[in-house]
Structure 1
Amino acid sequence: MARYIFITGGVVSSLGKGLMAASLAALLQARGYKVRIRKFDPYLNVDPGTMSPYQHGEVYVTDDGAETDLDLGHYERFTGVSARQSDNVTSGRVYQDIITRERRGDYLGATVQVIPHVTDEIKAFALADTDDLDFVLCEIGGTVGDIESLPFMEAIRQLRNELEPFQTLSVHVTLVPYIAAAGELKTKPTQHSVRELASLGIKPDVLLCRSEHEIPLGERRKIANFCNVRIESVIPALDAPSIYSVPLQYHQEGLDSEVLRGFGITDAPEPDLSRWDDVTDRYFNPEGEVTIGVVGKYVGLQDAYKSLNEALVHGGLANRVKVNIQWIDAEVFEQEDADITAQLEPLHGILVPGGFGERGSEGKIASVRFARERGVPFFGICLGMQMACVESARLAGHTSASSTEFGETDEPVVGIITEWMTEEGLQEREAGGDLGGTMRLGAYDAKLSANSHVSTIYGGATEISERHRHRYEVNGAYKDALEETGLIFSGMSPDGLLPEIVERPDHPWFVGVQFHPELKSRPFEPHPLFDGFISAALTQSRLV
């Protein structure tokens, strides 16, 4: 029988509910329990697939092709449990499903209402596919009091009544701010937030109190008294020097023990936190450092490249080095007075990530050219690989080479893909169709050339599976012209039609991939491509 932990947030947004959920799940997992984490997002978009990264951060993609909230990346990185379509739901998706059934006549003429129809749909989502689990952690997006989240809160209230005693638990994440002028921590925001939650019929069992300062016993006792919880259930959550030290920090504060006590579990085994000890040791005790330049489009908001940032850190953990990331706006290199050499020469590696649209594309191509000519380790991901192919095509004499994503071109080295094969059969898309959910999404196999550099990176593998999210592909008609410049197509789709990986054997480390390897990297299992890239950057650092 699965037990359910409902995680809500109060006072302000961005308190780190997703990180808290991932850390708690990791602690329960370290005790031998089987866990899964789910995210309820109150916004009306069906999924974040069409939302700007500046609005929502990165779109995280699962193996089965779901476009989800970036918190699912935290879930996967901390637990190693691959997320699924059923692990993220939005109000938009809930209402879309209900309205579709209503139009079909499935409700037999009944009046469709928030209660019971919407709340029943949310409850069904929470309870689905949980038979083999010990704990299901359900994170509710937004802040208590938001009008958008009310149906989700009501669904939680109902579930806590409908399920067995000791089968549910509520964890509320709040803020205990420090007022510098008064020199005091203030507990009133937490009190008001808990009161707001209680007004919705939900009594929190555990309070996770975020703060920049130590929370003295007196303040914790005050919170416990006013919020009707045990003092042991008031868990301080201070700012941590690294997200990977958070599980250890929360364990030291007793979070996992208090949660288990709330379920009546007093004989749980002690957690095996050895892999987290190793991760933090590698992070805080590096034996060197490298500087990587990420030349992208959304560098103004690092959450837009959250998984990429963490995968680079993982590459550093694998090589026991600190990775310094310089975020470089690709548009800067498109200005007439841009000094590309001055900005890129000090770097030990250059990475051009994925993205959409023409803005900054020429700056990315210039970065590819610099890395190729100077022998600097280069890693191109998705659009980054496409720009590497465009740069090679121009090197081969196709001076107007470009992508049809940027407009009409006489040399479409990159073009929109309108059909491709999957395990379910042929997938077809229209160039002018809907944007949401119409890309090549999720895990696809690729075949690697024997004795290629990437085959070596993958430990001699000749077939891999990686996650995709893109609408455009490199045009195979240019394969021969590109290979004449030394750019080798070392990975292809199983049918041999779609280029998946390119590399330059005559370069110290030059790899472009059509997929997103950062989505499968873990702190305790760094992705081999990031491990190899940082290793090459470390070698480069010794030459500079």
Structure 2
Amino acid sequence: MAKFIFVTGGVLSSLGKGITAASIGTLLEARGYKVIIKKFDPYLNLDPGTMSPFQHGEVYVTDDGAETDLDLGHYERFLNSSTTRDCNVTAGKIYYKVLEKERKGDYLGGTVQVIPHITDEVKNSIYSLSEEYDIVIVEIGGTVGDIESLPFLEAIRQIRFDLDENDVLYLHVTLVPYIKSAGELKTKPTQHSVKELREIGIQPDMLVCRSEYPLDDSIRKKIGLFCNVSKNAVINAIDASTIYQVPLLMNKEGAGRFILNKLGLEERELDLSVWEEIVYRIKNPEDTVTIGVVGKYVGLKDAYISLTESLIHGGIDNKVKVNIKWIDAEDLETQNPDKFLDDVDGILVPGGFGERGVEGKIRAVNFARNKDIPFFGICLGMQCAVIEFARNVLKYDDAHSTEFNPKTEHPVIDYMEEQKKIKKLGGTMRLGAYECKLTEGTRAYSAYKEETIFERHRHRLEFNNKFRDELVKAGLIISGVNPERDLVEIIELKSHRWFVGCQFHPEFKSKPTKPHPLFSGFINAAYKFSQDKSSIQESEK
């Protein structure tokens, strides 16, 4: 049986439980332990798939086609193991399973209650897959004290009694705020948060205290005394300049050694050299590039979190700092694109749903194509690139996607037949990893350096093969195709310095330790473009 680490959070949301869980996992994995991380969310949706990005942030997609919480992206970026649909469990999923069993008569006529039926189902979900790993880290969403998370907290409380004492560790993430007017760090919020947790019946073994300034020895002793933990169990998670520095900082705090000792696991040789190199490259770039991201949800950073990190990974691979210029696609619909895009070294148009801002995205594609600026289109971004090409090269003025104009005579982007019959929205898109065959001699093949790849999808509409021959004849290159259904996966322009659109979401497979080849290629092209611009400007002086 695996060892279990339960990560809870207190005081307020957005303290970084996901980064904490991922960093702890990194320290254990770097010692040779096999680690998996799961996220238990207290909301009643079955998954976040139908939720607005402004409500929930990014929806992260796993290889097996699950629409999950964005924290699973953090887990995969920090660890070598891949997550699955079993790694993100919502209260909605738990109640749905229990009610299905009740309808089938599995409870033999008994009254169905939160305890034991809901809590038992939570525990079953926690234990699933555990036999394949040495350590299972479970992050409980929400904040201690929220009514929604109480069944999850009760379930993890019970697990300490179900297993041996050294098989379970409770880690609580709290805040130690700095009060500027008093010039002091205050421990009271942490004390109250732990008090809430202990009233539920959980005594934390370890506290990860977020703060702007270092915790001195006296503060650690005070927290330990009032929260009933040893001073060594008080880990200071001070604000870091990059999230990829957090495992290194937590290692200096002795977090890994404390966990191994508590769980009765042997200390093994630790190698964090790859993370040290990543942090060094981030902090010491050789140059800078600016990427304009033309999106629909630019007001919320979490909506594009995997995209942001993937651009950083591309920068790491090319030893440059990536400055992201966020551009609202709606602004491009009514204003001159030069005002927003003239100073960028590359243009990225990401995915999205709904008609809002689409014409702005199409104008961004047109700007990149005509100005020979490196362009990267993802999902809807690729579809916008096809629409723009059909309108301005083939001169099909009404070319569009049937998602936005069902009556267009040139639906270059269209629904697949089975998608036209779908009524329910949740979990019904083309989701998860699909095979893609690459064409030799293309930018895609040059980036991946292999013929067959597997990438993750999240969309309903596809490139319409009825217009394929016309588009190819006009100069569009089809560089990647799904062989099973002959679906276009990647498009390029040969006459352009770097113009690539992909139907899938490459950002879901990029890691700082292994940057995605398309992002690395895009940043490399953007850097070369910036160098060319600098040379021209110098010659004009």
Q: What's the TM-score, normalizing by structure 2? A: 0.97
- Per the alignment, in what secondary structure is the counterpart of residue 405 of structure 1? coil
3-state secondary structure, aligned to 2:161: helix
CA contact (8 A) 1:21 1:37 kept: yes
CA distance in 1 between counterparts of 2:40 and 2:267 reads 29
AA partner of residue 500 (structure 1): E
Residues 1:303 and 2:293 aligned together: no
Query: How far apart, CA to CA, are the structure 1 residues paired with 2:220 and 2:173?
Result: 14
Partner of 2:472 in structure 1? 483
- The answer for unaligned runs of 5 or more in structure 1 is 420-428
Number of the residue aligned with 1:359: 356
Kindly state the Cα deviation for residue 450 of structure 1 after the two structures are TM-superposed.
2.3
CA-based RMSD of the aligned residues comes to: 1.0
Quote the offset at 1:484 in angstroms. 2.9
Q: Counterparts of 1:407 and 1:364 in 2: how far apart (Å)?
A: 16
1:447 counterpart = 2:437 = yes
Spell out, residue by residue over 1:476-529, the C-alpha distance to the aligned partner (whole angstroms, 9 max, x if none).
111122123311111111135311010011110000000000100000100000
1:265-414, aligned counterparts within 5 Å? 265=265, 267-335=266-334, 338-395=335-392, 396-410=394-408, 411-414=410-413
| Paired position in structure 2 for 1:4 | 4
Q: How far, CA to CA, are the matches of 1:470 and 1:247 in structure 2?
A: 34
Contact 1:80 1:522 in 2 (8 A): no
- 2:457 counterpart of 1:468: yes
1:386-405 alpha-carbon deviations (Å, 9 max, x no partner):
00000011120211011111
1:409, distance to aligned residue in structure 2 (A): 2.6
Alpha carbons 1:414, 1:473 under 8 Å: kept: yes
1:65-104 paired onto structure 2 within 5 Å: 65-104=65-104
For 1:331 and 1:437, how far apart are their aligned partners in 2? 28
CA distance in 1, matches of 2:407, 2:361: 18
Instruction: Provide the residue aligned with 2:115 in structure 1.
Output: 115
Inter-partner Cα distance in structure 2 for 1:295 and 1:37 = 32
Q: How many residues of Structure 1 are paired with residues of Structure 2 in the alignment? A: 531
Could you state the TM-score of these two structures normalised by the residue count of structure 1? 0.96
Q: Is the 8 A contact 2:171 2:205 kept in 1?
A: yes
1:47 aligns to 2:47 (yes or no): yes
Is the Cα–Cα contact under 8 Å of residues 311 and 518 in structure 1 kept in the other structure? yes
Alpha carbons 1:290, 1:324 under 8 Å: kept: yes
Q: In the TM superposition, what is the alpha-carbon distance from 1:436 to its structure 2 partner?
A: 0.5
Q: Deviations over 1:98-152 (max 9, x none)?
A: 1112112222211111011100000000111111311100000000010000000
Aligned counterparts of 1:4 and 1:495: Cα–Cα separation in 2: 41
Contact 1:393 1:481 in 2 (8 A): no
Q: 1:275-295 deviations in whole A, cap 9, x for unaligned? A: 101111111111111000000
Would you say the 8 A contact 1:101–1:107 is kept in 2?
Answer: yes
Letter in 2 for 1:416: Y
* Residue identity matched to 2:352: G
Q: Partners in 2 of 1:303 and 1:437 — Cα distance?
A: 21
Aligned equivalent of 1:426? none
Contact 1:173 1:210 in 2 (8 A): yes
Equivalent residue letter for 2:157: R
Letter in 2 for 1:448: L
Q: Give secondary structure in 1 for the equivalent of 2:173.
A: strand
Letter in 1 for 2:488: P
| Partner amino acid, structure 1, of 2:364 | S
Contact 1:486 1:504 in 2 (8 A): yes
> Which AA in structure 1 matches 2:276?
D
CA contact (8 A) 1:403 1:409 kept: no
Match of 2:250 in 1: 250
Q: Which residue is equivalent to 2:219?
A: 219
- For 2:187 and 2:447, the matched residues in 1 are separated by 52
Rounded Cα–Cα distance in structure 1 between residues aligned with 2:214 and 2:453: 47
Report what 1:512 is aligned to: 501
For structure 2, the 5+ residue unaligned runs are 534-541
Cα distance between partner residues in 2 of 1:83 and 1:119? 23
Pairing of 1:84-163 with structure 2 (within 5 A): 84-163=84-163
Q: Map 1:157-172 onto structure 2 (within 5 A).
A: 157-172=157-172
Corresponding residue SS for 2:291 = strand
Could you tell me whether the CA contact under 8 Å between 1:401 and 1:409 is conserved in 2? no
Instruction: Give the counterpart letter for 1:253 in structure 2.
Output: E
**Secondary structure of 1:358's aligned partner:** coil
Distance 2:290 2:407 in 1: 36
Aligned to 1:425: none
- Name 2:537's counterpart in structure 1: none
| Structure 1 partner of 2:447 | 457
- Residue matched to 2:538: none
Residues 422, 428 of structure 2: 8 Å contact kept: no
Task: Please give the secondary structure, in 1, of the residue aligned with 2:165.
Answer: coil
Structure 1 residue 339: deviation in Å?
2.0
Q: Which amino acid letter does the alignment assign opposite residue 359 of structure 1?
A: R
2:529 maps to amino acid: Q
The residue that corresponds to 2:14 in the other structure is 14
Is the contact between residue 63 and residue 84 of structure 1 (CA under 8 Å) also seen in structure 2? yes
Q: Distance in 1 between matches of 2:473 and 2:423?
A: 36
8 Å Cα contact 1:9/1:143 also seen in 2: yes
Q: What SS does the aligned partner of 1:49 have? A: helix
* Cα pair 1:400 1:409 within 8 Å, conserved: no
Structure 1: distance between partners of 2:168 and 2:500: 48
**Partner amino acid for 2:466?**
A
Residues in 2 aligned to 1:218 and 1:392: alpha-carbon distance in whole angstroms: 65
